[in-house]
Amino acid sequence: MKKNMGNADKLIRLIVAVVLGFLIYNGTIAGTLGTVLGVIAVIFLLTSLVSFCPLYTLFGINTCKVKES
């Protein structure tokens, strides 16, 4: 897997995942919506940890900065 996420993307996804996780844990979001948003939070957390988003490859997006040598 080639990295295709920059630091800003990773940080935003991590913050969204933590906020969603807190809202679900707190009981603010529950039911079917809570389940769907919980799955999205887990996906955001995993993609931010590995710096790879499969949807970015489908759409040809790459926000990772290229190292110049």
Q: Which domain holds residue 24?
A: 7-59
pTM assigned to the model = 0.85
Among the listed residues 22, 12, 23, the one whose alpha carbon sits nearest the alpha carbon of residue 47: 12
Position 30 in a domain:
yes
Q: Per the domain annotation, does 64 fall within a domain? A: no
Buried b or exposed e, range 11-43, using 16+ CB within 10 angstroms: eebeebbeebbebbeeeebeeeebeebbeebee
Pick left, alpha or beta for residue 5 (phi over 0 → left; psi -120 to 50 → alpha; otherwise beta). beta
Does 15 fall in a domain? Answer: yes
Whether residue 66 lies inside any domain: the answer is: no
At residue 59 the predicted structure's pLDDT band, cuts being 50, 70 and 90, is: very high
The better pLDDT of the pair 13, 65 is held by 13
* pLDDT of res. 69: 58
* pLDDT, tens only, 8-56: 999 999 999 999 999 999 999 999 999 999 999 999 999 999 999 999 9
Q: Total domain count for the chain?
A: 1
